Amino acid sequence: MTLAQLDLTGDLARPARLTVLDLLGWPQHRVRVSFECATSGTQVHRFEGPRLYDVLSSAGPGFDPVRRKDRLRFLIAVSGADGHHALLSWAEIDPDFAHAPVLLAVGIDDTPLDRAGPQLVLPQDRCGARHISGIRAIRVDGGYRTLPPVPATPGLGSAEVR
């Protein structure tokens, strides 16, 4: 049996390649989720797996302890085998901020996801658009640059007030 693999990359002290079996090593959480899908109506499922926060924290995100609130600049990009992508901020999953219970599900409706790979589950989302099946990569990025502001061009993109 070939197990799906998930690559943790980016600004991490300990990047890793994980399988569903590896993810079973973290504390498991269960959640019942109801998604409102535009094409197939309401979907209700039970998911089980570790919290995304626990898995990424163990990989050692490269937060700078000298920079105040450095965690807030980190983004998390999740990619699925089917080409779907989702973007989260570290603040969404961090217990000091939003503390969203985002899961890397290793099971759905009591069925293991060994071959398909883990699923990103955001129970707080009403719509399932950020639900990613068959996760192949998660990138943690705190190294993006802030570009200098560009002066506005008069008459372009601004509303004229009369």
The tens digit of pLDDT for each residue in 6-31 reads 999 999 999 999 999 999 999 999 99
The predicted structure's pLDDT at residue 144: 63
Give me the mean pLDDT over the 128-154 stretch: 83
Task: Evaluate if residue 161 carries a pLDDT over 60.
Answer: no
Nearest 5 degrees, angle CA 132-CA 134-CA 138? 70
The predicted structure's pLDDT at residue 1: 57
**3-state secondary structure (DSSP) of residue 107:** strand
Residue appearing with tokens 């570009």: 147
pLDDT-derived band at 162 (thresholds 50, 70, 90) equals: very low
Segment 130-142, tens digit of pLDDT? 999 999 999 999 9
The predicted structure's pLDDT at residue 7: 97
Entry pTM = 0.85
Give me the mean pLDDT over the 148-158 stretch: 68
More confident residue, 93 or 160: 93
pLDDT-derived band at 159 (thresholds 50, 70, 90) equals: low
Segment 59-115, tens digit of pLDDT? 999 999 898 889 999 999 999 999 999 999 999 999 999 999 999 999 999 999 988
Contact status, residue 119 vs residue 108, Cβ threshold 8 Å = yes
Contact status, residue 104 vs residue 131, Cβ threshold 8 Å = no
C-alpha closest to that of 121 among 101, 142, 141: 101
The predicted structure's pLDDT at residue 135: 97
Contact status, residue 107 vs residue 51, Cβ threshold 8 Å = no
Strand partners, 108: 47, 111
**Dist. CA 67–CA 95, nearest whole Å:** 19
Contact status, residue 106 vs residue 90, Cβ threshold 8 Å = no
**Dihedral class, residue 109 (left if φ above 0, else alpha if ψ from -120 to 50, else beta):** left
C-alpha closest to that of 52 among 118, 126, 133: 118
